[in-house]
Amino acid sequence: MMRLAVVVVLAGLCAFPVYGQKKKKRSQYFTKQSYQYPLFKWTGEYSRHGFQFNFGPTYLLTNGETPERDLSTSPDTNATYTHNPSGRLGGFIEVGMVHIAKKRRKVIHYFDWGIGYKHFAGTEQTRLMIHRFGETNEVKGNGVFDMGYLYGRFNVHNVWQINRDVFLDNALGFNVDYRLTGSVPGDNSRYDGAVLPQTQRFQQDFVAQLNYELGVGFKIRDGFFIIPSVHTPILGIYEWTGGNPSLMWYSSRYQPLLLKVKFVWLFKKKNNACPPVYGNPDDEKRNQQYMNGQ
């Protein structure tokens, strides 16, 4: 799970743009690459602020079956066990806002935030081998669970323009989640067959994490973008377990993965705004440079 998060982050960091000398054209857009392809114009008809809505499936990744472990038993009995976790499909939905940087920046081009609800689900299979008086008996158990979280998040984004209508979108952020629905910690009523409460640990209701997101954006028209992306936590802050971002349930860990489709609508500028008044040509030139992020 941690390996996957590291791979996703490294892949995204490799996509971050490298900036060279400053471009002298008056028109400035989201990124240094391909200025002739406007993703957003500070002097255009759209505001820097807008509405965002995203949704998609969720899934819990696992490391697969755990190594066989010994279980303390009576002197004449020896037992070993393994746990085999797996994820199930869930879903999420979110609404929020997008805010583009006031001026052209080298790293952070926009940030967004949202509130939403996400649902995770998974299973765990237990295999217990009991060795007694030269005989071995195998007992199996299977548990299912689900967790529903109300959450809020904040992310900062770096955009790398590929061409007129396509761009890479990297984001680092912070999310806080609170479990509202789903399975109850310590409740094994949904565990059929063999269950080992002594090996179990359940996630607390409150979760705080750092997250990473990598997407490919498409400019449908001026002021409207669609950004499919992959989102996963990369550092667990609360509850602290050495920074591991995965969730604990039953006797296993589960790495959340969100497959997102985000829609962004920028607001149009007000038409009744008073035009600026300049005292001299130098004032007008300085204002234009500011609006273009120079």
**Which pLDDT score, from 0 to 100, does residue 1 have?**
52
CB 132 within 8 A of CB 77: yes
Q: How high is the pLDDT of residue 122?
A: 97
Buried b (16+ CB within 10 A) or exposed e, 26-59: eebbbbbbbeebbbbebeeebeeebebebbbebb
Annotate 35-86 with three-state secondary structure: CCCCCCCCCCCEEEEEEEEEEEEEEEECCCCCCCEEECCCCCEEEEEEEEEE
Nearest-CA neighbor of 175 among 247, 236, 249, 254?
A: 236
- Would you state the pLDDT for residue 138? 92
| 114 token code pair | 């949202």
3-state helix, strand, coil in the chain (%, to 5): 10, 55, 35
Q: In whole angstroms, give the CA distance from residue 113 to residue 106.
A: 21
Output the pLDDT for position 42: 57
Q: Note the pLDDT of residue 33.
A: 45
Per run of 10 residues, the mean pLDDT along the chain (length 294 residues) is: 47 42 43 48 80 98 91 78 97 97 81 98 95 85 97 96 91 98 94 94 96 96 94 96 96 97 93 54 57 50
- Where do the structural domains in the chain lie, given as residue ranges? 2-18+27-57+88-121+144-249+260-268
What is the third-level CATH fold of 2-18+27-57+88-121+144-249+260-268? Porin (2.40.160)
Question: What's the pLDDT score for residue 25?
Answer: 47
Model pLDDT, residue 182: 95
